[in-house]
Structure 1
Amino acid sequence: MAGVLDSVNQRTQLVGQNRLELLLFRLEGKQLYGINVFKVREVLQCPRLTLMPKSSPVVRGVANIRGSTLSILDLSLATGKAALDDLTNSFTIIVEYNNRVLGFLVHSVERIVNMNWEDILPPPQGVGTDHYLTAVTHVDGQMVEIIDVEKVLAEVAPVSEQVSVGVGSVEMHDRTSSSRVLIVDDSSVARKQIVRCLQGLGIEVVTQNDGRQALNYLKGLIAEGKKPSEEFMMMISDIEMPEMDGYTLTTEVRQDPAMGDMHILLHTSLSGVFNLSMVQRVGADDFLAKFQPDDLANRVLDRIRTTG
C-alpha cells in the first residue's frame, strides 16, 4: 500500500469532468466498499491505539499520526456490523471530512479505480431509510457500496444544526419568509442539516437528491414558463453526488441561457483538497465547507441582502 496514493495530488484533473476515483476497501467479508480518493490523505497499517474513556464505542481509540492526535473509527462497527477484531492486520484510511481529520479502520484496502459519476447510482429502492449507503456502483461485476460518511459522523459526533442567537436580525424576517432556496445533496443527513438550518431562519426550501435530478427539475420549471433564478434566490449544491456531480451540474446550469444567472453555492465535505480555481472555472458563485450552520446562514442572509 506504500505507493497506492502517490499520485493523489495529481488527480484533481478529474474534477469538472463528472469523474472520480474510488479507493476500494473491505470490512469483514467479501463486500467491497468505496471512498472518494479526494477525501483520502493516506493509507497506513493500523497504528497503535490509545483507548479514550467515555468515547463512542465506534471510536476504537486515538493515534498519534505525523504529530497530530486523530480519532480512529471502526467503520464496520459504525455501520451496524461486528467490530473488526484483527487490528494488527487491519488498515487505517486517514481522511478529511467537514474540516475534520480522522481515521477509518478497515480490514483491507484493495485498489483505486477511475469511475464516471454517471455509473455511481443511488441506493436501490427497498433498502429502507435506516441504512448507511449514499450510493452504489459496480466494478468488475461486483457491487461496490459507498458509505454515507456524513451519517456516520453525525451519529458518532453530532454537530448542531441550529443557528446561533444573533445571526440575522428581526428586520430580516419578512425578507427571509419570502425567500426560497434549492438544496441539492445526496446525503439524507446533509439535506436535513441544511433544511433545519434554513427553516430556522424562516426560509422556504426545496430539495433534490442529486445533480441529475436537480437539472431535470430546473428544466421542468423552464418548460412551465418559469425562470429558475426568479423561483429561487440561490441553489446550494453538494459536489459529490451520484449520476451527476455538483461541478457538472453547475456547468450545465451556466451553459443554459434560461437558468444561467442562478446564484450557486457549492457546499461540500471536500474541504481538505478543494481547489478554489475549479469553483471559478465551472462558474459557481461561492464555496463553503460543511457543516457550519452559522457560516451557511450568513452566506444565505448575505445573498438576501444583496438581492433585496
Structure 2
Amino acid sequence: MAGVLDTVNQRTQLVGQNRLELLLFRLHGRQQFSINVFKVREVIQCPRLTALPHSHPVVRGVAHIRGNTIPVMDLGMAIGSPPVEDPTKCFMIITEYNRTIQGFLVGGVERIVNVNWGEIHPPPKGTGRNNYLTAVTEIDNQLVEIIDVEKVLDEVSPRSVQISSDINIEVQQHLPQHILVVDDSSVARKQICRTLAQVDLETTTANNGREALELLKSWADDGMDIHKQLLLVISDIEMPEMDGYTLTTEIKSDPRLKDLHIILHTSLSGVFNNAMVEKVGADQFIAKFQPDELAGAVMKYADSKKIMEQSR
C-alpha cells in the first residue's frame, strides 16, 4: 500500500479542476468508505499500540511512527460499529486534519480512485443528524460513503470556539454585518458560526459550493447590492458537487460578485497547495480550526475595508 501512495505528490494537478482522489477502504463487511488522498500521509500495518489511560474509548492507544507519537482511533467504533478486537491485524491510515496528525484503524484498504466533485453528492435526505457521512458517491456501481472525519474528531476531542479577549470585536456599523459560510460539515459550520457570533456578525450557511453560488447569483438577480450586504465569504475547499476552488473561480468571474473577499478555510493543512489560492483568486487561506485566527482575519479585513471606504 505504501507504493500506491508514492505518487500522491504528483497528483496536485487535480487541485482546482473540481476533481479529487479518494482512498477507498473497508471497516467491517463489504461496505466501502473513503477519505481524500490529500489528507493521507501514509498507510501501514498497525504497529503495537501503547494504551492511554483515561482516554476516549475510541482512542485505542498511541503509535510511535518515525519519531512521532500519534493517537490511533478505531474509526469503525467511532461511527457506531463494534470495536476492533486486535488492532495489529488492521491497517492504519495516518492522516492530517485541522493541523493535527492521527491514525485511523480500518479493516482493509482497497485503492485510490479519481473522481469529479460533481459526482460527489450530499448524504441522502433521511439519514438524520447523527450520521457520520459528509458525502456519498458511486464507484463501479457500488455506493461509497465519505466519512465526516471532522465530526469524529470533534466528538473525541472537542475544539473550543471561544476567542481571546484581545481580538477586536467591534465591526463598524456602516460595514456589512453578514458573512456567507460554506462548508459540507455540520460541525465545521457550527464552529464557524459560533466564532463569528462572538464578534457580532450574522451568518448564512450553504452546504457546498454549488448551493453557495446559486444563492449568491439569486441575490444578485434580485437586485441586491452584494457588497453592501455581505462582508465576505468563508468557504471550505472539499465539498460535494462543487469544491471551494471552483466556487472561488466562479465568483471572481461574475462581474457582480468578483470583488467579494473570499477566505478559504480548510482542514487540508499540511498538504495544501498555496499556489492554488493565487491561481483561483482567493484572498486568504486559513487552516482549520483556530477561532482566534479566523476571527482575527475577519476583523482585519473589516478594518481594511473601512480604511478603503474612507479613502474614496
- Assess if the C-alpha contact under 8 Å between 2:176 and 2:230 holds in 1: no
- Assess if the C-alpha contact under 8 Å between 1:229 and 1:263 holds in 2: no
Deviations 1:260-285 (A, max 9, x none): 11100000000010011110000000
What is the CA distance between 1:230 and its match in structure 2?
A: 2.4
Distance in 2 (CA, whole Å) between partners of 1:4 and 1:122 is 28
- 2:148 paired with 1:145: no
What is the CA distance between 1:178 and its match in structure 2?
A: 4.9
Determine which of 281, 292, 299 is the counterpart of 1:294: 292
- State the SS of the aligned residue for 2:85: coil
What is the CA distance between 1:104 and its match in structure 2?
A: 0.7
Distance in 1 (CA, whole Å) between partners of 2:173 and 2:211 is 28
Distance in 2 (CA, whole Å) between partners of 1:155 and 1:72 is 15
Alignment of 1:257-272 (within 5 A): 257-272=255-270
Give the root-mean-square deviation of aligned CA atoms: 1.2
Q: Which amino acid aligns with 1:181?
A: I
- Assess if the C-alpha contact under 8 Å between 2:171 and 2:299 holds in 1: no
Mark the runs of 5 or more structure 1 residues left unpaired by the alignment. Answer: none
Q: Which amino acid aligns with 2:258?
A: G
Q: Which amino acid aligns with 2:182?
A: V
- Assess if the C-alpha contact under 8 Å between 1:27 and 1:84 holds in 2: no
Which residue number corresponds to residue 102 of structure 1? 102
- 2:167 paired with 1:167: yes
- Assess if the C-alpha contact under 8 Å between 2:18 and 2:116 holds in 1: yes
Q: Which amino acid aligns with 2:195?
A: C
Count residues in correspondence: 306
When residues 77 and 285 of structure 1 are mapped into structure 2, their CA distance, relative to the original with a 3 A threshold, is: same
Q: Which amino acid aligns with 2:240?
A: P
- 2:253 paired with 1:255: yes
Q: Which amino acid aligns with 2:102?
A: L
Q: Which amino acid aligns with 2:245?
A: Y
What is the CA distance between 1:133 and its match in structure 2?
A: 0.5
- Assess if the C-alpha contact under 8 Å between 1:181 and 1:233 holds in 2: yes
Mark the runs of 5 or more structure 2 residues left unpaired by the alignment. Answer: 307-312
Q: Which amino acid aligns with 1:287?
A: F
Which residue number corresponds to residue 227 of structure 2? 229
Tell me which stretches of 4 or more aligned residues in structure 1 moved more than 6 Å. Answer: none
Alignment of 1:22-171 (within 5 A): 22-169=22-169
Which residue number corresponds to residue 11 of structure 1? 11
Q: Which amino acid aligns with 1:116?
A: N
Alignment of 1:276-287 (within 5 A): 276-287=274-285
Q: Could you tell me the TM-score, scaled by structure 2's length?
A: 0.96
- Assess if the C-alpha contact under 8 Å between 1:239 and 1:247 holds in 2: yes
When residues 84 and 116 of structure 1 are mapped into structure 2, their CA distance, relative to the original with a 3 A threshold, is: same
Q: Could you tell me the TM-score, scaled by structure 1's length?
A: 0.97
Which residue number corresponds to residue 216 of structure 1? 214
Distance in 2 (CA, whole Å) between partners of 1:175 and 1:296 is 20
What is the CA distance between 1:173 and its match in structure 2?
A: 5.0
When residues 34 and 240 of structure 1 are mapped into structure 2, their CA distance, relative to the original with a 3 A threshold, is: same
- 2:177 paired with 1:179: yes
Distance in 2 (CA, whole Å) between partners of 1:179 and 1:105 is 44
- Assess if the C-alpha contact under 8 Å between 1:227 and 1:259 holds in 2: no
Which residue number corresponds to residue 197 of structure 2? 199
Distance in 1 (CA, whole Å) between partners of 2:299 and 2:119 is 36
